[in-house]
A and B are shown apart, each in its own frame.
Chain A
Amino acid sequence: MIEDMKQQAVIGVSLGGRTLLVGRVKDGVLEQSVTRKINNRESEGNIIKEVVNAIKEVMDDSVVGMGFGAPSLVDVEKGIVYNVQKIKSWKQVHIKDILEDTFGIPVYVNNDANCFAIGELYFGQAKEVENLIGLILGAGVGAGIVFKKHLFSGTNCGAGEYGNIPYRDHDIEYYLSDNYFDLKYGLSFDLLLERAKRADKIALAIFEQYGFDLGNAIKIIMYSVDPEMIIIGGPISAAFSFFEKAMWQKVNNFLYKHSLEKLKIQATKQENIAVLGAAALYFDANNHVLSK
Chain B
Amino acid sequence: MEKTFIGVDLGGTKVHAARVMGGVISKSVYRLLPKDNGDAQIVVNLIMEVVNLLMNEKVSAIGIGLPSMVDSEKGIVYDVQNIPSWKEVHLAEILESQFHLPVFMDNDANCYALGEAYYGLGKDSDFMVGLTIGTGLGGGIVCQRKIINGASGSSGEFGIIPYLDKTLEDYCSGQFFKDYYASNGEELAKKARAGDVSALKAFQEFGLHLGNAIKVIMATVDPQMIVIGGSVALSNDLFEKAMRQSISDYAFERSIKKIKIQFSETNHMAILGASSLCFQNEFVLG
Contact, CB under 8 Å: B155 / A226: yes
B78 to chain A: which residues have CB within 8 Å? 258
Contact, CB under 8 Å: B151 / A224: no
Residue in B141, B149, B161, B254 whose beta carbon sits within 8 Å of that of A156 in the complex:
B254
Contact, CB under 8 Å: A255 / B160: yes
- Supposing A256-B69, A258-B78 touch, asked if A227 and B151 sit within 8 A by C-beta, the answer is yes
B199-235 interface bits toward A, Cβ cutoff 8 Å, 1 = contact, 0 = none = 0000000000000100111111111100000000000
Contact, CB under 8 Å: B160 / A223: yes
Contact, CB under 8 Å: A224 / B222: no
Whether a CB of chain B sits under 8 angstroms from the CB of A52 is no
Whether a CB of chain A sits under 8 angstroms from the CB of B22 is no
Contact, CB under 8 Å: A155 / B127: yes
Residue in A156, A216, A226 whose beta carbon sits within 8 Å of that of B150 in the complex:
A226
- Closest A-chain residue to B151, C-beta based? A228
A-B contact count (CB 8 A): 113
A219 to chain B: which residues have CB within 8 Å? 162
With A and B bound together, what is the CA distance between A223 and B251 in angstroms?
22
- Closest B-chain residue to A145, C-beta based? B221
Interface of chain A residues 115 through 172 with chain B (CB within 8 A): 130-131, 145, 147-148, 152-162, 164-167
- Supposing A259-B151, A262-B151 touch, asked if A158 and B158 sit within 8 A by C-beta, the answer is no
Contact, CB under 8 Å: A156 / B222: yes
A256 to chain B: which residues have CB within 8 Å? 69, 152, 154, 157
Contact, CB under 8 Å: B151 / A263: yes
Whether a CB of chain B sits under 8 angstroms from the CB of A220 is yes
B149 to chain A: which residues have CB within 8 Å? 226
- Supposing A155-B223, A165-B216, A165-B220 touch, asked if A224 and B161 sit within 8 A by C-beta, the answer is yes
Which of A148, A216, A222, A262 has the most chain B CB within a 10 Å cutoff?
A222
Whether a CB of chain B sits under 8 angstroms from the CB of A225 is yes
- Closest A-chain residue to B250, C-beta based? A164
Whether a CB of chain A sits under 8 angstroms from the CB of B82 is no
Q: How far is the CB of B37 from chain A (nearest CB, A)?
A: 21
Which of B151, B154, B156, B224 has the most chain A CB within a 10 Å cutoff?
B151
Residue in A131, A145, A156, A259 whose beta carbon sits within 8 Å of that of B252 in the complex:
A156
Q: How far is the CB of A218 from chain B (nearest CB, A)?
A: 12
A222-B154, A256-B69 given. 18 additional CB < 8 A pairs? A155-B223, A155-B224, A155-B259, A156-B252, A156-B254, A160-B220, A161-B220, A161-B252, A164-B215, A166-B163, A223-B154, A223-B157, A226-B152, A226-B155, A226-B157, A255-B160, A258-B154, A259-B150
Measured CB to CB, the residues of A under 8 A from B are: 73, 130-131, 145, 147-148, 152-162, 164-167, 216, 219-228, 255-256, 258-259, 262-263
What are 10 residue pairs bridging A and B, where the CB atoms are less than 8 Å apart in the complex? A147-B143, A156-B255, A160-B222, A166-B212, A225-B141, A225-B221, A226-B157, A227-B151, A258-B78, A259-B152
A-B pairs, top 5 by smallest CB distance, nearest first, are A226-B150, A154-B222, A158-B222, A224-B220, A226-B155
Measured CB to CB, the residues of B under 8 A from A are: 69, 71, 78, 127, 141, 143, 148-158, 160-163, 212, 215-224, 251-252, 254-255, 258-259
